[in-house]
Structure 1
Amino acid sequence: MRTKKKNYTSTDQLITKITAWIAGVIVVGLMIWGAISLLDLYKYEETNDAQVEEYINPITSRVTGYIRTIKYEENQDVKKGDTLLIIDNSEYKLGQQEAEAALLNAQAQIKVMESNELTTAKAASVMKSQIASAKAKLLKQQQDYDRYSKLFKVESATLQQLENSKAALDVADAEYRSALNSYETSASKVNDIRSQRDVYLAEIKRREALLNRNKLDVGYTVITAPYDGKMGRRTIQEGQLIQAGQTLAFIVDQEAGKWVIANFKETQIASMKLNGHAVIETDAFPGEEFQGTIVSLSPATGARFSLLPPDNSTGNFVKVVQRIPVKIKLDDSKKLTDKLKAGMNAIVVIAKNQ
C-alpha cells in the first residue's frame, strides 16, 4: 500500500512557525509570571480584605426642643466651632430668668438677715448699757437699805422708812435681773441670726448652681462642630422636635487622620512587627500606591469581637482560617490622602522579616 505524501505550502509552514513562537512566548511569560508570583509570595504578605477607616462620630442633642435653624448641608466641610444647628431656646431662656430672679431673692434675703443682725446687735448693746445703769441703781438702793437698817436699830429711822427702802431695793433688784434677761435674750437672737447665715449662703450657692445649669441648657441649644471635619447625610428638618440624646447627624473627624484596617490570615502575621512598612493600593485609584506604618495588631481575631463569637466546643467544628485585624497608619500627606474615603476597599502588601 502506498502512503500518500503530505505537501505543506509555505503559508502553512509560516503559520506553524508563528503559532510555535506565540506558544513559546506564552509559556515563557507564564513561567516568568509564576516565578515573580512565587517570589512575591516568599517576600511579601498580601490581603485584599482591607478598608480605609476614619473616625465617624455622631452629633447628638443634649436638650429637647424644636429645631429653629440648620446651618449645614450634606457633605459640607466644617471647622471646629462652626454652628451646625440652633434649637428653639424660649423655654430655656424663661428658666434662666426664673433662676436669676430666685438668686436675687436669696441674695436679698441675706441682706435682710444682715440688717436684722445689726439691729439686734445694737439692741443688745443698749440692753448691756441698761444693765450697768440697773446695777448702779441696785447698789445705791442696797446702800440706802443698809443705812436705814442701822438707823432703825438705834431708833433714828422709822419702820416705814425702812420698809420703803426695802421695797426700793427689791424694785432695783428686779430691774437689774430684767436687764440681764433682756440682754441675754438679745444676744441669743444675734447668735440665732448669725447661725442662719450659713443657711442663706448655702441657698445662694444652690441658686447659683441652678442658674449655671439653666445657662448650660441655653448654651446647649446651639450645637457646634467639635472639630474640623465633613458632615454626612442630613436627615433632620427645621421645626422638627428632637429629644435629648438623639443623634442628629454624623461628622467625619479630619483632625484624627486616616488609617487602614487590613484583615490578614492568622498564617500571615508571624513576621509582622510594629512600625513595619506597608504599601496600600485602593480599588478607587488603581496603580496609585500609598505608604503606611503598622501601629498595632489586634489582641484577638475578628470573630472573637463579633456579637456572637463562635463556640467550637459544641461539636460542630469546621476549621476555618481566622483573620487578625492589623491597623496601618497612612504616612502620606493629608493633601494626598484627602481623596481616600472611609470604607473604601484596599489591597495591602507588607514585606516579610522587615
Structure 2
Amino acid sequence: MDKTTQDYTATDKIITRITSWTAIVILIVLLVMGIRIITDRFRYQITNDAQVQEYINPVVARVSGYVKEVRFEDNQQVDQGDTLIKIDPSQFLLLESESAEATANAGAELSVLESNIMTAARLASVSESQISAARARLTKQEKDYSRYSKLFAAESATAQQLEAVKEALDIARSDYESALGNYRAALSRIEDYRSRKAGLSAEIRRRDAVQKRAMLDLSYTVITAPYKGKMGRKTIQNGEFVQANQTLANIVNQDADKWVIANFKETQISEMRTGQPVLIETDAFPDEVFHGQIESFSPGTGSSFSLLPTDNATGNFVKIVQRIPVKIKLTDSRQHTGMLRAGMNATVKVIRHP
C-alpha cells in the first residue's frame, strides 16, 4: 500500500469518526428535545397564540381650539396630574367673562325688582289703611243718610238736607271703592313683580350654569395625565387645530396590573378551570418565566366577536378549529412584570395537574 492510499484511509477514518459523533450528538439533542416536548404536552396545555395586554387609554380633547403647548415627548414617563397639552384659552376666557357680566347684570335687575316689591308692599299697606278710613267714613255717611231719611219722612228735615247727606254718602262710597281699587292694584303690582322675580331668578340660575360651563370649558384647555403612566407616540404640534373628542395621544396606565390574553384551541379548554396556575414565556425575554393564573374565559370564540362573523350556512363549510380567548392574571410582582410591554408575544403553558 503506497503512502497516498494510507493518507486517504486515515482521512476517511477521521471524517467517519467526526460524522459519527456529530450524528450521535444530534440524535441525543433530538431525543432530549423530543422527550421535553412530549413531557410538556403531557403536563401542560400550550399555546403560542398569546399577547401581553395592559390598559392603553386615549388622551382626548374635550374642547376645540388651537394647541398652544405640548409638554410631553415620545415614550415619556408622566405622573398623575402632569400637564400634557395646553389649548389656547383666549376664546374661553372671553366667554367666561361675558357670562360673568351677564350674571352680574341679572343680579342687579333682581335687586331692582326686590326694591320694587318692597315699595309696592309699602304702597299696599298705605292703601289698606286708606280703605279702613274710607270704610269708616262710608259707614258714618250711611248712618247719617238713614237718620235723615227718617227725619225727612217725619218732616223734621228738608229735602235739601237729605240731598246733601245723599251726596256725601255717594262721595264716601266712591272714596271707598277708589281706596279698595288702589289696594288691589298694589297687590297686583306685587304679584307682577314676584312673577318677574321668579323668571329672573330662573334666568340667573341659567346664566350661572352658563358661567360654570364656561369655566369648565376653560379648565379643559389644560389636559393633564389621568394617572401615572407612559406616553405613546407624539402626533401633535404647537399651533395645530384640534376638535373636541379628538384623540391627541395615548397613555399606558402603569398603576394597573398587566395580563395575558391566550387564544387556546377549543379542544384544549375542557380541562381548564378558573384559578389554574399558568407559566408564561415571552419571545422578548426567553430566559424569564412569569407566573399567572386563569382569571376568566371568553363567552364566545374570537370569530364570534369579529366585525364580520363567518356564516357556516352559506354552503361552503370548512371545519376549522376555533380559539377561545382566555384572560390570565399575572401573579408576579410589578417589579418582575415591569419589563413586559403591551402586545408582546408569549407562550402560555397551563399546568394540567398542579
TM-score normalised by the chain length of structure 2: 0.90
Partner AA of 1:102 in structure 2: A
Gapped runs of 5+ residues in structure 2? 1-5
Instruction: Judge which range, 15-24 or 282-291, deviates more.
Output: 15-24
Instruction: Judge which range, 332-341 or 210-219, deviates more.
Output: 332-341
Partner AA of 2:288 in structure 1: E
Partner of 1:331: 331
**Structure 2 vs 1, CA of residues 306 and 156 (structure 1 numbering), >3 Å: closer, same or farther?**
closer
Partner of 1:276: 276
Partner of 1:120: 120
Instruction: Judge which range, 150-159 or 245-254, deviates more.
Output: 150-159
Aligned-pair distance for 1:116? 1.1
- Cα deviation code 1:264-317 (max 9, x no counterpart): 222222211111111111111121111111111212111222212222221222
Partner of 1:62: 62
d(CA) in 2 for partners of 1:301, 1:14: 59
State how 1:147-158 maps to structure 2 within 5 Å: 147-158=147-158
d(CA) in 1 for partners of 2:177, 2:205: 43
Partner SS for 1:123: helix
Partner of 1:185: 185
Partner of 2:261: 261
Aligned-pair distance for 1:231? 0.5
d(CA) in 2 for partners of 1:93, 1:15: 88
Aligned-pair distance for 1:145? 3.0
Partner of 2:161: 161
Tell me if 1:302 matches 2:302. Answer: yes
**Structure 2 vs 1, CA of residues 157 and 85 (structure 1 numbering), >3 Å: closer, same or farther?**
same
Partner of 1:196: 196
Partner of 2:43: 43
Gapped runs of 5+ residues in structure 1? 1-6
**Structure 2 vs 1, CA of residues 340 and 138 (structure 1 numbering), >3 Å: closer, same or farther?**
same
Aligned-pair distance for 1:65? 0.5
Aligned-pair distance for 1:15? 7.0
Task: Determine if contact 1:64/1:244 at 8 Å carries over to the other structure.
Answer: yes
Partner AA of 1:176 in structure 2: Y
- Cα deviation code 1:198-220 (max 9, x no counterpart): 22221121111111111111011
Partner AA of 2:216 in structure 1: L
Instruction: Judge which range, 193-202 or 280-289, deviates more.
Output: 193-202
Tell me if 1:342 matches 2:351. Answer: no
d(CA) in 2 for partners of 1:136, 1:151: 23
Aligned-pair distance for 1:68? 0.8
Partner of 1:3: none
**Structure 2 vs 1, CA of residues 104 and 162 (structure 1 numbering), >3 Å: closer, same or farther?**
same
Partner of 1:219: 219
Aligned-pair distance for 1:149? 3.4
Aligned-pair distance for 1:239? 0.9
Aligned-pair distance for 1:14? 7.8
Partner SS for 1:166: helix
Partner AA of 1:203 in structure 2: E
Task: Determine if contact 1:302/1:324 at 8 Å carries over to the other structure.
Answer: yes
Aligned-pair distance for 1:253? 1.2
d(CA) in 1 for partners of 2:183, 2:242: 64
Number of residue pairs matched?
348
Task: Determine if contact 1:277/1:351 at 8 Å carries over to the other structure.
Answer: yes
Partner SS for 1:317: coil
Aligned-pair distance for 1:229? 0.8
d(CA) in 2 for partners of 1:34, 1:136: 123
Partner of 1:52: 52
- Cα deviation code 1:105-132 (max 9, x no counterpart): 2222222111111111111111111112
Partner AA of 1:260 in structure 2: V
**Structure 2 vs 1, CA of residues 71 and 12 (structure 1 numbering), >3 Å: closer, same or farther?**
closer
- Cα deviation code 1:18-41 (max 9, x no counterpart): 765664555455334323322221
Instruction: Judge which range, 173-182 or 77-86, deviates more.
Output: 173-182
Instruction: Judge which range, 91-100 or 131-140, deviates more.
Output: 131-140
d(CA) in 1 for partners of 2:66, 2:10: 90
d(CA) in 2 for partners of 1:24, 1:239: 70
- Cα deviation code 1:25-80 (max 9, x no counterpart): 55455334323322221111222211111111111111110111111111111111
Partner of 2:3: none
Task: Determine if contact 1:55/1:253 at 8 Å carries over to the other structure.
Answer: yes
Partner AA of 1:296 in structure 2: S
d(CA) in 2 for partners of 1:11, 1:66: 81
Partner SS for 1:270: helix
Aligned-pair distance for 1:142? 2.9
Partner of 2:293: 293
Instruction: Judge which range, 63-72 or 332-341, deviates more.
Output: 332-341
d(CA) in 1 for partners of 2:10, 2:141: 166
- Identical pairs, percent: 55
Partner AA of 1:165 in structure 2: V
Partner of 2:249: 249
